[in-house]
Structure 1
């Protein structure tokens, strides 16, 4: 239902852009009629390009939606963007964008967080570089009555559209296996995707998202603006983080490779691979709380003799949830250049 509402909003916005653009057109324009002269005096379409940098945040199994502020801050990374915008009418424009954004998440942010002890015990992490191509409609709240030189000093706007992106989640293995390396997760079949006996197929590394957002531009001079933008991407995949279903049986993953087995279930790793932090205290606390560890008779909790409910490697336990798709949010500061409508040539002598 949530996805249908988002798509309806995007369709409505793009439809409004089309209607507004057609409203600027008359058949008399084809023949150089009076209407063409009059319209050109009120508004001239123009183009701009922009370069931007900013932050990125991911939301999903390793960065819960119901801890939105903490999730936004904990896994914050970077993004860089290039955009070309064609202003079609005083208030509507069409924008084409290229964005490169890095996102990340880590269960170890949940160390000591009440209600998320199982997330900490799961001990998964990832990072993912997203390469996004988008087309969005942009609505300015303040109209530009003529060309770009007459644009408003401050112009807030909203936007919405569609994006296609490539992604490839990676993670760090336990140090003794591959020191200081990041390995691709999708080929490891970490949830049994594509393996005999499993119905799920490997997830695609190409997906679609719906960008929606707000922004504001401030006029610096005749040709340049500076802008600030906040954009949220509703993706159509649950595997930006390589997590979305059940654990695969450890024996099935081990038949593929030791690395597949190690990356599929990471609960018995003493050291958090990404941060290098010792997990012993948090794991003992979790095992004590669920009643399978006696602190009066301490033993090493990082052994296969500990069969932890929910993480026992038999393939029946949930590793993630498919209830909500993954998403990401970008904040961008950008420099905007308005392409001159006409290039004046020096007079011939």
Structure 2
């Protein structure tokens, strides 16, 4: 019986050293913002709610790796642009984002993770940076006659139409390089708070459904119908002459779209359990 208890204690001690207190679990809430063809001036006017969950494994008091799932809502609209051409273009979009990813973190100060050597220098706060990768899903929409329509199936730049055989419909799942920074605080042995912001440099230019040039409006009208033709070029709602002539610049396809997540996170460090044989 004692041998079994001792074996159980050894397993518990091993688990404590390799699992408990090296893992943080948490949740964050904050905002999401988009930068791209419909927000060329890096405006934060279009900030909407965002949030997520994360798990962090601390290798020591400097380096850690974390895994996260996040969600947010991004949007933009040319009607708020101070640029006259963008205002007359009159494009807009809205999309929910769903993201999963992982990043490495580096603390600039030896941060108190509650498991490191008691006598080692450590602080109950530290600025930090992070970098990694994510996969995300998006689905741009716009309103037509008061109803929100999904834009990708419509081929607003001619994607999927026989007149444009080289234009394929874009995928609504893409990846992004993630980087950012923040500061974390140890409130107690088990609880902490972090404030951070991170940029997502995506590998798609269609987060907003805008990338290249206008398709021929006659083709869109005949092949897709009045709704597709209008959503591809809604400028007629604000000016007398539509601006969307065939092959005229609609967006800037030399740059991909980006989004930014920021907020406050609440951290819980997993509790360890001591064996009766431990002092």
Question: If the length of structure 2 is used for normalisation, what is the TM-score?
Answer: 0.85
Partner SS for 2:229: helix
CA deviation profile, 1:80-120 (whole Å, cap 9, x unmatched):
1100000012311110000001111100012xx2xx11100
Q: Tell me which residue corresponds to 1:137.
A: 104
Q: Tell me which residue corresponds to 1:320.
A: 251
Matches within 5 A, 1:143-222: 143-144=110-111, 147-148=114-115, 152-173=123-144, 175=145, 179=146, 181-198=147-164, 199-222=166-189
Matches within 5 A, 1:148-297: 148=115, 152-173=123-144, 175=145, 179=146, 181-198=147-164, 199-254=166-221, 255-269=223-237, 279=238, 283=239
Given that residues 52 and 80 in structure 1 are in contact (C-alpha distance below 8 angstroms), is that contact kept between their aligned partners in structure 2?
yes
Q: Does the alignment pair 1:343 with 2:276? A: no
Give me the whole-angstrom Cα distance separating, in 2, the residues matched to 1:192 and 1:47.
Answer: 49
Structure 2, unaligned runs of 5 or more: 1-9
Question: If the length of structure 1 is used for normalisation, what is the TM-score?
Answer: 0.69
The structure with the largest helix share of the pair is: 1
Given that residues 244 and 322 in structure 1 are in contact (C-alpha distance below 8 angstroms), is that contact kept between their aligned partners in structure 2?
yes
The structure with the largest strand share of the pair is: 2
CA deviation profile, 1:124-153 (whole Å, cap 9, x unmatched):
100111101111000011224774486621
Which consecutive segments of 4 or more residues in structure 1 shift more than 6 A? Answer: none
Q: Tell me which residue corresponds to 1:55.
A: 31
Q: Does the alignment pair 1:76 with 2:47? A: yes
Q: Tell me which residue corresponds to 1:118.
A: 85
**Residues paired across the two proteins, number:** 255
- RMSD of the TM alignment (CA)? 2.3
Q: Which structure would you say has the larger Rg? A: 1
Given that residues 132 and 165 in structure 1 are in contact (C-alpha distance below 8 angstroms), is that contact kept between their aligned partners in structure 2?
yes
